[in-house]
Amino acid sequence: MEKGSFKNMKKRNRKNILALIKNEGGISRAQIAEKLKISRATVTNLVKELINYGLVQESDLGRSRGGRRPMLLNLKADGAYSIGIEWGIDSIKTVLLNFKADIILDDQIQMDNNSFEEYKEVSFNLIKQYNKKLEDSSKIIGIGFGIHGLVNPEKGYSVFTPHFNWGEVDIKSILAEKYNYPIFIDNDVRMMAAGEIWQGRDDFIFINTGSGIGAALVFKSKIHYGNNYAAGELGHLKIADDGPKCYCGKYGCLESFASKESIISSYQNLKNNEVKISFSDIMIAYQAGEIESNLVINDALKYFARAISVVLNILNPEAVIIGGLFAEYEELLLTKLYKKIKEDSLNQVINNLDITTAYYQNLAGAVGAAEKVLNDFFEMKN
């Protein structure tokens, strides 16, 4: 046996045992040994270590196969914690999850200043608050960051932030200088998709809506990144030959027709109104049947549906999950969106397609980022 291989095997078996306990939600030592094909003595020793670490606890008695009823093992909720942070276009959202992925704390801070320094300092202060809330901050096992724009998750770089103009930033190195935790960096929408994977989804497109429109593509529970980590930039799909200039510098992008700002701008142009108005004001008018609001919302839905249909006809996923702004108005918009998608798509790709909203609603990015940390901790190793 090579030097260090026994230690690696032990670590791998410990991680696999944790993953089984998490996935099964109550499992005996004998069942673990049977499923992992390792000796009962090994399982007993490793489970003892996990109990001593405070990660696992014995709970209810299981069913007997003849003889004494076995003790079942479960995760200990306060055994470990993860922090998730979403750096959105106009806000920072954060969560603290326990070891069972329950939300313990959450915050949302509206950002008027979109400089990198401001986002960094606000996040540092929130992390500090979460550390203070815990009796033992050493139980934090990592921090996940979901960041608007193009991100290289391998290097932890923010490559391109069209709404911020930060340029390329080595965010992981900056954070690693301050925190001695594992740090996970990815695009905000891919982090949202990670939260859906945690809930058992395995073949879907996650689309986040708002000031930007981005997507994450998931096949067999794995996120598709593309050649340069740019897969999923749905908002920059050219949807018309003419149109307003997009943040990316090009014309005719979906975002220039269906983002929050483009909808507000179109509405104000129709009304010849220079008074500041919010998206919620437009939706109130839309619900009341006002002509102008119906024109701009239905126009945005038309272009949005057209873009989704292109993706559906190419990829044929099981589900489309909508997050962000449009998800907040699910009852008003989702049925109409589905109808328009159906008009533009092949019948075969619409058949049995599930169109729904994000499981974690407006906290999807932050929770997904925190669950990315947990997923790495629980991931079974061969």
Q: What does the pLDDT read at residue 243?
A: 80
Q: What does the pLDDT read at residue 4?
A: 42
What are the φ/ψ torsions at residue 269 (nearest 5 degrees)?
-65, -40
CA distance 297 to 292: 9
* Residues of the chain where predicted confidence (pLDDT) is lower than 70: 1-10, 60-69, 380-382
Q: Do domains 79-194+362-376 and 199-358 have the same CATH topology?
A: yes
Q: What does the pLDDT read at residue 240?
A: 87
pLDDT by residue (tens digit) across 45-94? 999 999 998 999 988 665 655 556 678 999 999 999 999 999 998 899 99
Which CATH number is associated with domain 199-358? 3.30.420.40
Q: What does the pLDDT read at residue 26?
A: 85
Q: Which residues pair with 71 in a beta bridge?
A: 61
Q: At what angle do helices 5-24 and 29-36 cross, to 10 degrees?
A: 120
Q: What does the pLDDT read at residue 2?
A: 40
C-alpha separations of 27 from 21, 57, 65 in Å? 6, 11, 14
pLDDT by residue (tens digit) across 202-259? 999 999 999 999 999 999 999 999 998 999 999 999 998 888 888 788 889 999 999 9
What are the φ/ψ torsions at residue 324 (nearest 5 degrees)?
80, -145
Tokens of 10: 């032990």
Which CATH number is associated with domain 1-75? 1.10.10.10
Residue 206, Cβ density class (10 Å: 0-12 exposed, 13-18 middle, ≥19 buried): buried
CA distance 152 to 229: 6
The residue extents of the domains of the chain are 1-75, 79-194+362-376, 199-358
- In words, the CATH class of domain 79-194+362-376 is alpha beta
State if pTM tops 0.85: yes
